[in-house]
Structure 1
Amino acid sequence: MDPLTSAVIQVLVQQLYNSLENEEKTLLGFKEDFEKMKTKLNLMTSFLADAQRLERNSKDYLTFKTSLAQIRDLIYDADDILLDCQTRAAYEEISFFHGYTPRGFSFRHKAGNKLKEINKRIEAMESQLNTYLNPVSQWILSSGEGINRKARRTSHVSASKIIGLREDTNKIIGWITTSESSNRVGIVGMGGLGKTTTAQKIFNDVVDHFDKMIWVSVSQTFSEKEIITSMLRQLGINETVIIDDEMLEIQKALSNKKYLIVMDDVWNNDGDWWRHISSYLPEGEKCNQSIIITTRNESVAKSMGVTRIHHARKLDETESWDLFCTVAANRQTSKDSEFETVGREIVKKCDGLPLAIKTIGGLLSTKTQSLHQWKQVSKNFRNELANRTSVPATLQLSYDDLPAKLKQCILCFSVYPEDYETSAEQLVYWWVGEGFVLGNEEKTAIEVAFECLLELVNRCLVEAVKQRGYDGRVYKCKMHDMVRDLIIKMAKEAAFCSFDEINKQKPEVNSRHLGYTREMDEKLLENNSKLRAFLLMESCPLPVHRNTGLATVNSLRVLDLSTNKLDSIPVEEMWSWIKSQKRLAYLSLRRISSLQELPDWIRKRQNLQILVITECSNLKRLPSCITTLQSLVVLDVDNCPLQCLPRGLGRLTKLQVLSGFKLPSPGKDGTLLVELKDLTNLRVLRINISKQDEIADDEAESLSKLEQLQILSIDTKDCDHEIIPLMDKLLPPISLQELYLRSYHGDTSPIWLNPSSLPELLYLYIEHGELTSVRTDFWGNTGKPWKIEGLCLKYLPRLEMEWKTVCSKMKYIRYLEVSRCHKLQSFPCNVNNYGVWEKEEEERE
């Protein structure tokens, strides 16, 4: 069964179950029609599940594949009509006239006809499928489908750990750190051999040897302009103010310097791009030039003037086994001879390719400790090898093993350009906004989505570019080009998005998801009624022109413009277009400097769940009607010059993440701290406090009422020493697990920062401040010790603390990160610049 269709049906049926329990409010009187739809969709799922038994080359399977496109359209239409009814019901709930208006009656008439039409189409499709499929069982909706097959807790293991490459990296480091004025090295080999991993290890290890360092991901589809822009940015040069030749600016920045440039993943050297760039790179007695080229083609490396070539090699048997055990994180292999026998059999089939080993190891790390499952993986792997090389076979096997939910999530990577570094937050909000990921009784949809992303990283299908050391939480990620090729192939089959013959995404009338770049022809989007997600890629203008191209698209659920400042965008045209998106669930308008306020009609977007408007330098107010958006789960207005948030925020009872909260100054009408106690589902709260702020005595315990709050961030950069009494009033809830204190101006820690007040705290982050010491009760007592596992101290030059005290009072600590804390004593890492310490696995047991 197609994973995308499977996941959409699962979400739709779950929503139908929820809505039918509350028919009066959400179904506008169409209970009977939606009951019929739910029954028919359950039966449809049985038919589709039965289709998995069809032989791929059989006549029936080919007929089924033809029907699948019609099924997708049908399911999406059913999803849309349910959402439209829910949104209309929510709007009528806050409207004075409710549904008793001409528009209300008109909507019901059209919706009723649409529902009957969809149910007839479902019946017709069932009859069509019934000619060659026999449903074998009713589908039972399982709300407990977890990401991990067996719940277990493991420490984060980096899939990029260097095994078997130390000798290679040391050799190349020797080449590029010699006294010669020019060193050009090529790392050559097939995909999956670890060329980029080797170069990354070298790049990190020689940081103290070079004055300037530049890393450029070239990829298959590149432009000389993109490469030069990347080099300028890494050198700290603003390309928008350059008058002369851009390469002259690069030449000036590198003159009389020791510098290293890595050109990663060069596919060809057609044209004059490298000749032009390299002609400006300074050489000579006062300048030490080192360049590393990674490529799959030795002739490309030679054409780029390399003087030494390192051929990336396959790992030997011992190295392969070590890498497999590290990624699989499976101690059973070293204790049980049967596990080791099967494991070594699997590793042998990987043929020494690091990417293949890491991928299959990542797959097995999510399996239960079942010898039968390991044997099944080995058996399937052998069958795949009959017609494919080992790496594609391994990747395909890993993809096939993903649950439908994760397959749907990973297909989203297909819309990003090659080597694109993606924000984890953007992905997570997209998945939640489009309904790819659902919450459950224990975790919110956002929490589940972050776990989905981490599992994709742990399966080695996604590479973490920026990751928190404490628990492996992903902040930025990307996809290896070989994995991306596979995902594009899967996205094509699932009609997730459209591509041309060289795998570049293109907009089409039937496109459902699009990562828009400046090379695309916006006219191809005319009257697209199917597009559900639109993401604007970096440095690309928003092509909204009245009544043409993108302006005619009105079916979006996801709209993310966060990677562009859009300084010159006509705000009126942008709002006119957004106003037409009545199903919008996720809207990100980050860094739009011309944005000064939100329109009042935003209250009509009752399906809006995630609203991100951070870093809008001229956004000074939010309309009071924003407090009527009853579906809102994320409101992020951080780093905007808002004076306060409008009164009534406590009505947003579904809110889970609130970033950029500001207390109203004396005399200003806005949300007071006491209102937050009504946000009973709040998990994350980020507060900015200024020196004008006040907290009344009757508000002192407001935060302590937030029993679901897990993460609290407090930033007091606009304050002075007078902040101490205000901070002491905040009183976080005892449920808090992560605390971030930024720019705290007190000499000692807040009075509530102790294990008695925060008994569940696991991670403490303190950055930029004037702390000289902590209170005596900060360390707690034998009856109430800290549970803290991760501690991060940054830019606290006056703080005095001894490591032996930390160890004795924080017995569970396993991760430490320190920067610029010069007075810390006997700490097991560098405290002057940047240091990290992690407890060895054996010490934790």
Structure 2
Amino acid sequence: MADSFLFNVAESVLGKLGSLALQEFSLAWGLESDLEKIKDNLKVIKAVLLDAEQQRSQNPRIEVWLDNLKEVLYDAEDVVDEFECEALRRQVVKSGNTTRKVQRFFSRSNPLIFRFRMGHKLKQIRERVDEVAALKSKFGLTERIFDRHIIHGEREMTHSFIDASDVIGREQARDDIIETLLQSVDGENVSIIPIVGIGGIGKTTLAKLVYNDQRIATHFELKLWVCVSDVFELDKVIIKILDSASPGQRYADMGIDQLQRTLQEALNGNKYLLILDDVWSEDPRQWGELKTLLMGGAYGSKMLVTTRSQRVAEIMGTVSALNLSLLSHQDCLSLFFKWAFKGQQEKQNPNLKRIGEEIVRKCKGVPLAVITLGSLLYSVTDEREWEFIRDNEIWKLEQKKDDILPALRLSYEHLPSHLKRCFAYCSIFPKDYVMDDIELVYLWMANGLVQSSNENQELEDIGLRYFKELCSRCFFQDFSEYGGKVKCKMHDLIHDLALSVTQNECSMVRTSTQQIPKSVRHISFPHPELLPNVLPESLQNLDRVRTICCESERGEGISSEAFIKTCFSRFQYLRFLNLSYSMFEVLPTSIGNLKHLKYLDLWRSPNIQRLPNSICKLQSLQVLLLFGCWSLEELPKDMKYMINLRWLWITTKQKNLPTGGIGCLKSLRFLFITSCDNLEYLFEDMQGLKKLRRLKIDYCRSLTSLPQSIKCLTALETLCIKGCENLDLIMEEGEENQYPTQFSLQKLELEFLPKLVEFPQWLIRGSTNSLKVIKVERCNNLRELPECLQNMASLQEVQIKGCPQLNNDPIRKAGEN
């Protein structure tokens, strides 16, 4: 679509230039004119970006201009974020409860020096933006209004013809669909069957097989094939249907009313099969208008819809969608050899057959990928050429317009610009990496990709909506749910697509990597355990890196403290730092200099004994993951100053979590306390966590009670308590009403709590109209559940397992209502 990746970056920077913090600084320091000039020029540039984006492939000079613009925009974002960091630092210093010692702790530089330095940086950005704006006039670019319905690379219209002998492995799916099409459906005049799957998986091919089957020809009086493809406009779709019904007639000059009457006349009394191929529109109103017109056929008429969107399937389907499966490895081999050897594989070089099998594995069951690579090797007998194909990522190979990458890229082009950036950043993870929804949302937030125009909207909710949209469009697969989080993967070819659109921004660095473009801002190390003590030469010229991901393919993390120190000093603009599975014992104190850092992952770093108190200088930090830090003696003493923290996951050897620490984190939304074997007491000032939405306490074996103030968590939606062997959840006499319960839970999970005998009434008090999910598992001594649960109309899901002492089960009754 014409709503380009870069267009979204420009919008984001313009939004940040209007931030309150920057406005206040510019007014106080006399920088208003520079700031206004930057904004004015960016607005002018943004107006021609859509036109420039469409011309970039034909004009190399425009390509260079856009690349320069992107660099300027990112550098401008860094400067604006630096003002935001300073505003947060001053917020802490001026909070009213800080001593001179604390003020010294947070003073990074002389205010006059900071003012001079930042004023100079802003002027530099203004000069660079001026330069880019001046160059745009040389390209004859025209201003265009943002229109998300303009498509860059439209797919060519599909047709219904097919040679069935060219199709391998779809016989069972064809027969299943035909069986459904031939069945009568009670109460449905026209039933609609969606076929869903990623680009290239064979949805259209399967629809062709069905359409041309003799069983269909004898059952339906009228067969219609329509490729919807681009924009779903009612008059155009009607014309396509009429063209299929009566070829050679002219319908283009008809008005919409005449088109509707003509369509109803064409369908009247006929039992028809209509194939709507390649549907993208997710607007239920558009479909509703067309569906009304298509009800004029005879009883038993059917429609088959192919789409890449689960949302489209939900809107259009009247029966369950067929999620088209990947092709089996054996079928992929047959298909590959059919294209590469023209079906004469038995006469071929055994080495080529062996290499061919290895090539097929990288296609991961997607037929179009198999055909793409097979056709690349048609009549090629040089083993080196075959090895070249085998050893390269698909996105690095030359592609024709009908090959796999263009087919997948069409899915990317149809994304709204904000989703394009979110999808592209997923390329930072290695292939087959298991992602989860919360992790992705905070990764996007760390890079400024989740933005809200409404201050009442939580960024987490917006990010989760982005995640669900990408899921519905088949960009993620292999879903599972664990610990309240949705986990998924990207298909290898979808990962290649992400790499292809971020190749100048993201780089995977291996020991063999010789050179990295200076424009790269996101780096991952698939083998961090092999990193040297010094920064590789390929990284020496990079100083604007925002992401370092040391996500090991082997589960072995970085061990070089010297390398970490070098990274901290070199990459001052880091937003996302993944050091999971690290083997060092002490995190360098220089971590406190990474003032832009928003996401720090020390997941399963078993040797870390302490975190430097300088980490508490990271006012921008939103995520701190310390799960699996089994040797961590205690949390930093000044954690209360991490005022932007939204997700905290801890494992610590402490016996108690003191007041004046975590309880002061007013921005905290997610708090997970896991495997703290020595922990006997939680912090007493939980009432300070006014925005906490999810609290998870598991495998804290020494924990005996929860603080009374837990009942003051007004925003709490999910409470999960698991594996706490000595916790009974009962408030002591006199404590029950000290703090009235204020939270309205939606989800409650209690698992493996052997001391739990009586169900704590305070847990559900105030939640009788909100509780949707309740899970009680392996609570061997739990005797009764509250009778009030049977009146909960809000309850949607109930699980009770391994509770042999239960005398009543009102929840099960409630769940049946």
Q: TM-score, normalised by structure 1?
A: 0.61
2:476 counterpart residue number = 462
1:810 aligns with 2:815: yes
Change (3 A) 1:537 1:661: closer
Matching residue within 691, 706, 713 for 1:706: 713
Shift of 1:138: 8.3
Deviates more, 1:555-564 or 1:609-618: 555-564
Cα shift readout 1:686-737 (whole Å, capped 9, x = no counterpart): 3467766566xxx74x444433222222346141558464896786534321
Out of 656, 677, 681, the residue aligned to residue 643 of structure 1 is 656
Match in the other structure for 1:5:
6
C-alpha deviation, 1:777, in angstroms: 2.7
**1:443 paired residue among 457, 474, 497:** 457
In the alignment, structure 1 residue 113 sits paired with structure 2 residue 111: no
What residue identity is the alignment partner of 1:15? K
Q: Residue 9 of structure 1 aligns to which amino acid in structure 2? A: A
Gapped runs of 5+ residues in structure 1? 142-161, 169-189, 195-316, 349-356, 370-384, 813-845
Instruction: Specify whether residues 139 and 58 from structure 1 end up closer, same or farther in structure 2 by C-alpha distance, changes over 3 A only.
Output: closer
1:128 partnered with 2:128: no
Query: Residue 131 of structure 1 aligns to a residue in which SS?
Result: helix
Give the counterpart of 2:572 among 546, 555, 575.
555
Indicate conservation of the 8 Å contact 2:663/2:689, yes or no. yes
SS in 2 for 1:557: coil
Structure 1 counterpart of 2:8, one-letter code: A
Query: Who is 1:749 aligned against?
Result: 759
Q: CA deviation at 1:74?
A: 0.6
Per the alignment, do residues 462 and 83 of structure 1 end up closer, same or farther by CA in structure 2, a change over 3 Å counting? same
Q: Is the 8 A contact 1:663 1:671 kept in 2?
A: no
Distance 1:615 1:27 in 2: 46
Q: How far apart, CA to CA, are the structure 2 residues paired with 1:499 and 1:19?
A: 37
Please report how far the alpha carbon of residue 748 of structure 1 lies from its aligned counterpart in structure 2 after TM superposition. 3.5
Q: Equivalent residue for 1:411?
A: 424
Aligned pair 1:364/2:312, yes or no?
A: yes
Label 1:692 to 1:130 Cα distance change in 2 as closer, same or farther (>3 A). Answer: same
3-state SS of 2:88 partner: helix
1:395 deviates by 2.4
Q: 1:520 to 1:756 in 2, by over 3 A?
A: closer
**What residue identity is the alignment partner of 2:769?**
P
The one-letter code of the counterpart of 2:310 is G
Name whichever of 724-733 and 391-400 sits farther off: 724-733
In structure 1, the partner of 2:501 is 490
Specify the SS of the correspondent of 1:752: helix
- Out of 558, 563, 587, the position equivalent to 1:542 is 558
Alpha-carbon distance between aligned partners in 2 of 1:165 and 1:29, rounded to the nearest angstrom: 69
Q: Report the AA paired with residue 491 of structure 1.
A: T
Amino acid in structure 1 at the alignment position of 2:39: K
> 1:526 aligns to what?
540
Whether the 8 Å contact between 2:693 and 2:715 is mirrored in structure 1 is: yes
1:329-368 matches, within 5 Å, as: 336=292, 338=294, 357=306, 360-362=308-310, 364-365=312-313
C-alpha separation in 2, matches of 1:531 and 1:563: 19
Query: Which whole-Å deviations, capped at 9, do the CAs of 1:203-229 have from their partners, x for residues lacking one?
Result: xxxxxxxxxxxxxxxxxxxxxxxxxxx
Deviation at 1:87, TM superposition (A): 1.4
Instruction: Using the TM superposition, give the Cα deviation of residue 457 of structure 1 relative to its aligned residue in structure 2, in angstroms.
Output: 1.6
Q: 1:89–1:321: structure 2 CA closer, same or farther, 3 Å change rule?
A: closer
Alignment partner, residue 367 of structure 2: none
Aligned equivalents of 2:450, 2:405: Cα separation in 1:
27
Contact conserved, 1:756 with 1:780, CA < 8 A, in 2?
no
1-side partners of 2:764 and 2:652: how far apart?
29
Structure 2 CA distance for partners of 1:485 and 1:455, relative to 1, 3 Å: same
Partner residue in 2 for 1:73: 71
Q: Write the distance in 2 (CA, Å) between the matches of 1:621 and 1:126.
A: 53
Aligned 8 A contact 1:645 1:662 in 2 = no
Structure 2 CA distance for partners of 1:550 and 1:447, relative to 1, 3 Å? same
The whole-number CA distance in structure 1 between the counterparts of 2:723 and 2:798 is 20
The offset of 1:787, in angstroms, is: 0.4
Quick check: 1:677 aligned with 2:687?
yes
Is 1:596 the counterpart of 2:609 in the alignment?
A: yes
Distance 1:57 1:529, change over 3 A: closer
Amino acid at match of 2:778: H
The alpha carbon displacement at 1:638 in A equals 4.6
2:304 & 2:679 partners in 1: Cα distance?
A: 67
Q: 1:94 aligns with which of 83, 92, 95?
A: 92
CA contact (8 A) 2:785 2:808 kept: no
Distance in 2 between residues matched to 1:550 and 1:665, nearest whole Å? 34
Q: Contact 2:585–2:609 at 8 Å: present in 1 too?
A: no
Find the partner of 1:615 among 613, 628, 634. Answer: 628
Q: Distance in 2 between matches of 1:725 and 1:50?
A: 69
Say whether residues 1:516 and 2:525 are aligned partners.
yes
1:565-584 counterparts in 2 under 5 A? Answer: 566-567=582-583, 569=584, 571=586, 574-576=587-589, 578-584=591-597
- AA at the equivalent of 1:115: L
Deviates more, 1:451-460 or 1:420-429: 420-429
Does the CA-based 8 Å contact 2:276-2:303 persist in structure 1? no
State the Cα distance separating 1:7 from its structure 2 match.
3.0
In structure 2, C-alpha distance between the alignment counterparts of 1:112 and 1:468, rounded to whole Å: 49
Q: What's the offset of the Cα at 1:79?
A: 0.9
Contact 1:644 1:664 in 2 (8 A): no
> Which residue matches 2:745?
736
Tell me, in whole angstroms, the C-alpha distance in 2 between the residues paired with 1:732 and 1:638: 28
Per the TM alignment, residue 361 of structure 1 is displaced from its structure 2 partner at its CA by: 3.8
Structure 1 position 653, deviation (Å):
2.0
Query: In 1, distance between residues paired with 2:172 and 2:39?
Result: 55
Q: 1:665 to 1:417 in 2, by over 3 A?
A: closer
Instruction: Tell me, in whole angstroms, the C-alpha distance in 2 between the residues paired with 1:129 and 1:346.
Output: 49
Distance in 1 between the 2:145 and 2:459 partners? Answer: 26
Larger radius of gyration: 2
| C-alpha distance in structure 2 between counterparts of 1:56 and 1:665, whole Å | 60
Matched residue count: 597
The 3 A distance-change label for structure 1 pair 337 and 137 is: closer
Q: Does the 8 Å CA contact 1:645/1:671 hold for their aligned counterparts?
A: yes
1:205-224 to structure 2, matched below 5 A, reads: none
Percent of paired sites with the same residue: 22
